[in-house]
């Protein structure tokens, strides 16, 4: 049996996410936008809760195309809030639209969101060597800087802890613990 990070449960959906995605560097703007919205939806909840709803989010958020989400009006927000397959929190739904608009402004300024967001780690993944889950921080100076800058640019639900989870999920930091089979695989990327 493969040794995984301690946050993974027995659900194959969760194991696949850990084994295939988490900690792998993402440089695709659409995927970076998707993860930004999903990490914001996670605020106060577990990632497992969000992951189980991810496919429904992809359907009703039009594949997370930021130009489309930026155009959502009050009727679309109400439809999203009525969907039992989503996390029905008005502030989080409204933040998705606000964040889509801010995302587009950042992309206009930097050429790509990827170029902007990866600057917080110097353009390369930060590789950590944690011996246990207890050692993994909830935030870092890098996530603090990212959070502060995103907020300054108008983004919502981007506190430092959310930013650090985003950095982990998109491979900006590699936090697979040393005993996890993915540590060496992701470190080699």
Beta pairing partners, 174: 127
Of 14, 34, 39, 130, catalytic? 39
Of 7, 17, 21, 48, catalytic? 17
* Helix or strand (DSSP H, E) at 174: strand 173-174
Tell me whether residue 164 is one of the annotated catalytic residues.
Answer: no
Tell me whether residue 7 is one of the annotated catalytic residues.
Answer: no
C-beta of residue 99 within 8 angstroms of C-beta of residue 155: yes
Smallest CA-to-CA distance from 48 within 13, 97, 19 is with 13
CA distance 66 to 5: 32
120 token code pair = 């917080």
CA distance 57 to 104: 20
Q: What DSSP assignment string belongs to 38-68?
A: HHHHHTTS-HHHHHHHHHHHHHHTGGG-HHH
Of 14, 47, 57, 166, catalytic? 47
Tell me whether residue 109 is one of the annotated catalytic residues.
Answer: no
Active-site positions read 17, 39, 47
């Amino acid at each position: 049996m493969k040794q995984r990070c301690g946050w993974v449960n027995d659900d194959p959906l969760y194991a696949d996410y850990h084994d295939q995605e988490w900690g792998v560097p993402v440089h695709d703007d659409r995927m970076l936008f998707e993860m930004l919205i999903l990490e914001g939806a996670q605020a106060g909840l577990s990632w497992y809760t969000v992951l189980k709803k991810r496919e429904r989010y992809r359907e009703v958020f039009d594949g997370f195309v930021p130009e489309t989400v930026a155009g959502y009006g009050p009727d679309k927000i109400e439809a999203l809030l009525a969907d039992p397959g989503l996390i029905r929190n008005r502030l989080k739904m409204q933040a998705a639209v606000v964040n889509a608009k801010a995302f587009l402004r950042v992309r206009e300024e930097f050429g790509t969101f990827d170029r902007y967001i990866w600057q917080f780690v110097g353009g390369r993944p930060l590789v950590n060597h944690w011996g246990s889950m207890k050692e993994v921080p909830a935030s870092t100076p890098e996530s603090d800087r990212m959070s502060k800058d995103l907020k300054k640019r108008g983004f919502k639900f981007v506190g430092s802890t959310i930013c650090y989870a985003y950095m982990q999920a998109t491979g900006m930091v590699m936090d697979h613990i040393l005993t996890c089979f993915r540590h060496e695989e992701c470190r080699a990327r």
